[in-house]
Structure 1
Amino acid sequence: MPQKTQHTPMMVQYLGIKEQYPDAFLFYRLGDFYELFNEDAIKASQLLEVTLTTRNKNAENPIPMCGVPYHAAKGYIDVLIEKGYKVAICEQVEDPKTAKGMVKREVVQLITPGTAMDSKTIDAKTNNYLAALSVTEEQQITIAYADLSTGELKAAQLTSIDDVINELSSLKTKEVVFKEAEHIELQTELQTKLGILISTQKDIEENAEFAYLSSEVENTGILSVLKILLSYLSVTQKRSLAHLQKAEVYTPTHYLKMDHYSKHNLELVTSIRTGQKKGTLLWLVDETKTAMGGRLLKQWIDRPLIQETAIRARQDIVESLVNHFFERTDLNEALTRVYDLERLAGRVAFGNVNGRDLIQLKTSLVQIPQLKEIIELMNKNEWDSLLSDLDTVPEVVSLIENAINDDAPLSLKDGSVINDGFNQTLDQYRDAMRNGKRWIAQLEAEEREKTGIKTLKIGYNRVFGYYIEITKSNLANLPEGTYERKQTLANAERFITPELKEKETLILEAEEKSLALEYRLFTEVRETVKAYIERLQLLAKTVATIDVLQSFATISEKYHYVRPELTFDSQDLMLVNGRHPVVEKVLGQQTYVPNSVEMDANTEIMLITGPNMSGKSTYMRQLALTVILAQMGCFVPAETANLPVFDQIFTRIGAADDLISGQSTFMVEMMEANQALRHATSNSLILFDEIGRGTATFDGMALAEAIIEYIHKHVHAKTLFSTHYHELTVLEEELPGLVNTHVGAVEEDGELIFLHKMLPGPADKSYGIHVAKLAGLPNSLLSRAAVILERLEQKEEIVLGNHTEPKNVPLSNVMKEEPTSVGVSEAAEGQLSLFGALDETESTVIKTLTELNLLTMTPLEALNALHQLQQQLN
């Protein structure tokens, strides 16, 4: 960077401020623009698509420069924040009229991805969390996180890096803060795995505000990470954090635990295929009417309950709402008129609220008495706790009603924010302004009458004030000595009179004083409302809770869900005619085929066989989503449901490479299986879909059987295990806790028809060729596959060297005896004899197929290669 002494005083000031914020774009206020210089300008011009110019163009080294209008800066800042950058807002902090030398400037706020409050990129129903991490001497990882827009502040103690990744993934936080120069390896790992912005905080502050926010925290590790988080917020925002709520310490094990793999596989809030909300559990259950209800719903999906009292309390209210249709309808209508109380309260405390925000706050509070009245009509004890927290906050309603104009403009600088009659002095100023302008209009009419000039007009601009304008063609009609010439235009002359200047002074002074007084009065109103922040935040939580519960009742009534019976001391599971809630919504209730899940206390594993595409994965997800709905407190899609309360859900569903970590599908599969086997308990639910298919047949079969045996012997969790290894079905005879079930399918006239119905016992065949036919493979290929299959089925033995075992015997039994060696060429001859003679085209296709390196190809490249091979065979 060039020496500051080589620059103008302004650039010296800029460079000095920039040194304090090297990792942020510095928006430096110059008049009506925010300017950026040097590397900031070059990079911002590309990201924001604005023109890059230079300062001091004739200098030897001109300075790159770009700028954005201050009144439109918010949109540009949002773009940078969304792309993961920080923006430091540098403003003038003294009056230029009284400044000596350079006007003093300071950064008044550092906006970061984790501290953005009202960005257009933040969805109303989505939290924007900033997290901080620290590691205790006992190697426990502590986390604290806050949503600056709502005031939410929470903290927890975690045990492993996996737990950290799970929490950060669930929170979808874009930024994590560490104490400077600490835990570098952890920072690097999080950047690699999550692509998250890492920020550091050098100085850890302590003050009375921090002490209050952490007053109910006793754990020293959590106190430490809270100080890091609060210090960062204080340094970046440079204002009071009074709207933050007292830190709430939670224990992750007090909720149904799901790792980020399971949440992803089950598509709770994001579709695997599209990355969108549509097609997810959230999409199904979100009938919330308020933004804060939508945010709370996401939190409930992320953390279903495991405590009996809390679950039953939610179920009782949902049942009450289901049984009171008309009251629920009125409740919903009232909720639609409630604005985002949480974020409105946050804006009040943060000091960036305007008149319309306060009107929205009043409008929301006016609905609370109606909400209370509707709930009281239901007259149920289960509503008592929520009713007591429905605070109408009448003091705030009365203040805003008296003070703020219902049609207040967005900008506080435009006036007309404060109601007439609220302040006597303001009324006097307004009277002078209104009468003065009325006098101006009257003077214009009089001057026209006196001069006979019908086009005479009185105008105003900021440079000359009020003036009388007369076209040049009418100048001869002016009386002598009455008007004083002020300005000459191309087609007109402008004049003033002593009387006009006197009224101008009165009007302009009144207008200036009126605006200043209005702003001061609005600030006083805002500070008064700020004293009620805690009551408003509690009210917001209560309304959000009611909103989510009515959402549960709405979908339960709409889709004919039933209240599940949950048992806390039994492992009996009975789900009669259950449905996959999301698939049912897509297909319609008349089309969806329901299925039951029956596993008594002695049944731990359900081994599921059946054709691909027949619905095995849907059946497994169905149970998991039903459990999640039940433990959220919602009703479930079934005729009847008796479910144990699970402590954890583990899934291995679907196949996908983890390209960021460089891990293959099979490695991801094994990692997810490992998570379940190491951490599941007898109260957990495990869903394993086609474990072992990502490797060679015998390897996969061996692993699948070993995993089943391990779960049966050591874990004892309720497990649904789907497989295409039919050899595993005989495990039912060896493992008393395992039962076979399969998806029904029938073959009519060579066509496969899926019944999508679960039936007891193992499937009789795999129907793989039929599925290939449904996928559209060439007929010649399918015919050839049928011939090969027939030859294979004629061999009723599994061949391992010179050792043979009957078909459908567990692989572990086969492997108990050490096989004798066999020559490779001999084995190859045995395999080739199954296929018969190949023609030249088939040989070429097979050769090409064997030479393909699938591990280096994208899915699209692999599909294109397969299509080309198909074309050759056709």
Structure 2
Amino acid sequence: MDRKMRRAVGTSSISIPAETSRRETTSSSLPKYKFHLGACSSSRTPASSRRSAKSCVIVSVVEGRGNARGEVGLASMDALCSELSLSQFIDTASYTRLRIQLQVLDPVEVIVPDTAMDKSKSMTAVVEIIENTFPSAELTFVARQHFSDMRGVQLVQQLSTDESSNITAEVLQKYYCMAAAAALIKYVEHIQNVLFAQSSLKITYEGLSKVCFIDVNTMHSLEIVGPPGHTRASSNRSLYSVLENCLTGGGVRMLRSNLLQPSADVSVINARCDAVDELLSNQPKLERLRAIISGAYEIQHLVTLCCYLEKEADSIRSTEQKLSQVLNLKDTLNLIGPLRKALDSSKSTILKACYESLNDARFEEVRKALNERLSSKATMVEKSSFGVRNRRCYAVRDGQNNMIDLARRAYEEMLADVEEKAKEETANLADAKLVYTAQRGFHYSIGIADPLIELRLPSMFIQVVRHRASISCTTRELIKYNDRIAVAVDEIMVNSNAVVVGLLSQIRASIGYLYSVVEVISTIDFFASLAMYAMKTPTVRPSFSEANALVIRRGRHPLLDIAIDDVIANDCYLSKESRIAIITGPNMAGKTTYLKQVCLLQVLAQIGCFVPAEFAAFPIITRIFSRMGHNDNLTSNLSSFAVEMSEMVPVLANANSSSLIVIDELARSRLRLFDCLLHFRSTRLRRPLNRAISSIN
């Protein structure tokens, strides 16, 4: 596939300016990925904001060359959040771990070195995997020179905040993840037109030990999450949709990542079960915690704004976003007191750790800085467009900037003039009222009693638009007032920007505490979601057997348990002495459902969730494999049997004593042929059958 063809299928090649100094890396263009004002606007409720938030994860991938081929470095960052994740691992020939990690991250864009465009060079296989497995992700080629491990080490040391990062000297020696980090940071700064401040990013290295790997095919066949690019209807048929009761975007992301990569550390799992058990046994506490975090906004974006250095000029739109974010932060920090009080009597290790994280002296410092700069009048959530604009105009406290105060007085006077003018112009129209929308500004809406009767308006009314039950219009005088009001609002925004930039710079010193707040809210939301699931359906706390046995008594399929009232429960027993179970039965008896049920209950147990059963004991599993379905692959010119055999290859190559393997009717397409041959032999042939089979094979 040549370069022109790659562009046609959603890939691109980009040139990043040479790195003479970090301050010169930004461009004058608009950011590629933008904050969604709908997700953070004061016109939306906090609980609904996470439904509108869309992650924009960008992943940087680099593979070793020569003898190091197969060693992969990975760096990922949400373009709208300030958290950088790193990992490095030695992968198999089929890049199983890379597929899994990309599925967990669910990127919108993947960047690779531009040398991967040359088929004679390394990483050709990686590019093909990205294109085939994640066709919706944009593939971008970046100059190889930006994948510099030395520059990566410098950037990681400069940008990481020690309190929230886990970067050690050993991690800094991992060549490939440092190279991936260098390219990703440079690329994000370039496309977002930003510059990260020193000691501002949360940079974490995520080792792949003590986790349970689930390959991409197994994720889909077990219906753990919906398929890539899934619709809302298809996402309702997954384990994720059954458990998803989250109120914040952070809780949603934590739930999804844990489902796709469950823990394999028994101490971590038991600590999670303790947290769920405590919330389940104290339902008033659970309801109180959910009520508190339902008022929390997505402050990850605000933390990101704290990471950006001041630019020479910000647009009005950018200032509006920052004002909305700092107001949302102020409202969210007002919940910290009630949240600490609700967590004060916690007994589980995780919930006590959440309380300790919030009990920080920097909380008062941040809140004091916000109260000194921001007005208490702007904390109320107003859903109308006019209310949203007023909230931003009055966000900065009086006396902080004389130009803001003067512009506000002019703004207030013009609003009063508009009301007087509206009374004058609509004096003879009984059903006319003055309304405001973000698109048209102030205009008139005139109610229509009978849509069939044509209403004649005076000639001064222009831009008349007829709706089903009303007519909207304006006048030349009203248009002039709108223009003057817009100038006053812009003046307020421009001068408010200077105040907000200073506030963000002051808050940046406490950014480690803000990262803790984000993590605590996400953690509480995650465990509250698991507790809500356990409360709605009969479940039991899983235990983990030292005998390495899998014992389930009257277990139920999680998806069927929610959708069907009368679900048939099933038992399962596997141990060291009895490691294999063969399930037989007629068609439509539920054999496949039973196999999926066992795997899904294992996943639920290892994320720390209670499972739908009367009793459940599990071993710690590090790999889950499944071979289900029997479709052929015409694009690869493979028959059903060939597809089945190819899917069994990684199972045979990677399975070990801590793996859970489910195989559904292997070689199903050949079973009927084998039955026919047996019948033919018994009725027609007198000679041995082995020669006939070998000729067919």
For the criterion TM > 0.5, the same-fold answer is yes
Provide Cα deviations, 1:229-284, integer angstroms capped at 9, x if missing partner: 22222222232234963432223342101110100101111169977310100011
| Partner secondary structure for residue 656 of structure 2 | coil
Partner of 1:339: 297
Contact 1:175 1:198 in 2 (8 A): yes
Distance 1:694 1:384 in 2: 55
Partner of 1:198: 139
Change (3 A) 1:277 1:511: closer
Give the 5 Å matches for 1:18-33: none
Aligned-pair CA distance for 1:416: 1.9
1:185 aligns with one of 108, 124, 127: 124
Partner of 1:641: 616
Partner of 1:171: 105
Aligned-pair CA distance for 1:153: 1.5
Partner of 2:279: 321
2:215 aligns with one of 259, 277, 284: 259
| AA in 2 matched with 1:577 | R
Partner of 2:63: 135
Contact 1:576 1:595 in 2 (8 A): yes
Contact 1:149 1:347 in 2 (8 A): no
Change (3 A) 1:656 1:344: farther
2:537 aligns with one of 544, 559, 564: 559
Distance 1:265 1:380 in 2: 35
2:330 aligns with one of 341, 348, 362: 362
Aligned-pair CA distance for 1:652: 1.1
| Partner secondary structure for residue 654 of structure 1 | coil
Distance 2:575 2:412 in 1: 86
Contact 2:35 2:80 in 1 (8 A): yes
Change (3 A) 1:436 1:676: closer
Distance 1:432 1:265 in 2: 63
Change (3 A) 1:300 1:677: same
Change (3 A) 1:326 1:220: same
| Partner secondary structure for residue 619 of structure 1 | helix
Aligned-pair CA distance for 1:635: 0.7
Higher-Rg structure is 1
Distance 2:662 2:73 in 1: 30
Aligned-pair CA distance for 1:585: 0.5
2:393 aligns with one of 397, 416, 420: 416
Provide Cα deviations, 1:450-470, integer angstroms capped at 9, x if missing partner: xxxxxxxxxxxxxxxxxxxxx
2:157 aligns with one of 200, 208, 211: 211
| Partner secondary structure for residue 581 of structure 2 | strand
1:386 aligns with one of 332, 347, 354: 354
Change (3 A) 1:379 1:169: closer
Change (3 A) 1:652 1:434: closer
Distance 2:487 2:234 in 1: 56
Change (3 A) 1:324 1:802: same
Change (3 A) 1:339 1:427: closer
Distance 1:83 1:373 in 2: 50
Partner of 1:570: 547
Aligned-pair CA distance for 1:225: 1.7
| Partner secondary structure for residue 130 of structure 2 | helix
| AA in 2 matched with 1:401 | N
Contact 2:556 2:570 in 1 (8 A): yes
Distance 1:306 1:578 in 2: 22
| AA in 2 matched with 1:211 | Q
1:527 aligns with one of 505, 508, 523: 505
Contact 1:648 1:684 in 2 (8 A): yes
| AA in 2 matched with 1:220 | Y
| Partner secondary structure for residue 108 of structure 1 | coil
Aligned-pair CA distance for 1:411: 8.7
Change (3 A) 1:418 1:668: same
Distance 2:487 2:247 in 1: 47
Give the 5 Å matches for 1:554-703: 554-567=532-545, 569-588=546-565, 591-658=566-633, 660-695=635-670, 697=672
Aligned-pair CA distance for 1:582: 0.7
Aligned-pair CA distance for 1:321: 0.7
| AA in 1 matched with 2:330 | K
Distance 1:523 1:380 in 2: 40
Partner of 2:339: 371
Give the 5 Å matches for 1:441-480: none
Q: CA RMSD in A?
A: 4.3
Aligned-pair CA distance for 1:189: 4.4
| Partner secondary structure for residue 338 of structure 1 | coil
Partner of 1:101: none
Distance 1:291 1:586 in 2: 25
| AA in 2 matched with 1:141 | V
Distance 1:411 1:820 in 2: 77
Partner of 2:82: 151
Partner of 2:515: 537
| Partner secondary structure for residue 678 of structure 1 | helix
Distance 1:627 1:439 in 2: 65
Mark the runs of 5 or more structure 1 residues left unpaired by the alignment.
Answer: 1-21, 26-42, 44-81, 89-105, 445-490, 494-504, 703-726, 728-791, 805-813, 825-874
Give the 5 Å matches for 1:90-169: 107-109=27-29, 111-112=31-32, 115=33, 117-118=35-36, 124=52, 127-137=55-65, 138-139=68-69, 140-158=71-89, 159-160=91-92, 161-169=95-103
Distance 1:649 1:695 in 2: 26
Change (3 A) 1:413 1:240: farther
Contact 1:390 1:543 in 2 (8 A): no
| AA in 1 matched with 2:242 | L
Contact 1:573 1:642 in 2 (8 A): yes
Mark the runs of 5 or more structure 2 residues left unpaired by the alignment.
Answer: 16-25, 40-49, 117-121, 161-166, 311-317, 422-474, 478-483
Partner of 1:451: none
Change (3 A) 1:515 1:168: closer
| AA in 1 matched with 2:371 | E
Change (3 A) 1:603 1:120: farther
| Bigger mean CA offset, 378-387 vs 619-628 | 378-387
Distance 1:283 1:508 in 2: 44
Change (3 A) 1:820 1:310: closer
Contact 1:87 1:110 in 2 (8 A): no
Change (3 A) 1:148 1:427: closer
1:802 aligns with one of 683, 686, 697: 686
Partner of 1:287: 245
Aligned-pair CA distance for 1:326: 0.9
Aligned-pair CA distance for 1:401: 3.4
Change (3 A) 1:678 1:237: same
Distance 2:683 2:258 in 1: 53
Structure-2-length-normalised TM-score: 0.71
Contact 1:315 1:563 in 2 (8 A): yes
Contact 1:391 1:535 in 2 (8 A): no
Provide Cα deviations, 1:78-110, integer angstroms capped at 9, x if missing partner: xxxx9888999xxxxxxxxxxxxxxxxx95246
| AA in 2 matched with 1:362 | K
| Bigger mean CA offset, 116-125 vs 423-432 | 116-125
Contact 1:257 1:303 in 2 (8 A): yes
Aligned-pair CA distance for 1:223: 1.2
Distance 2:55 2:258 in 1: 13
Partner of 1:397: 367
Provide Cα deviations, 1:723-747, integer angstroms capped at 9, x if missing partner: xxxx9xxxxxxxxxxxxxxxxxxxx
Partner of 2:379: 406
Change (3 A) 1:390 1:565: same
Distance 2:625 2:547 in 1: 20
Partner of 1:301: 259
1:312 aligns with one of 252, 259, 270: 270
Change (3 A) 1:124 1:299: farther
1:330 aligns with 2:298: no
Distance 1:24 1:410 in 2: 47
Partner of 2:445: none
Aligned-pair CA distance for 1:379: 4.5
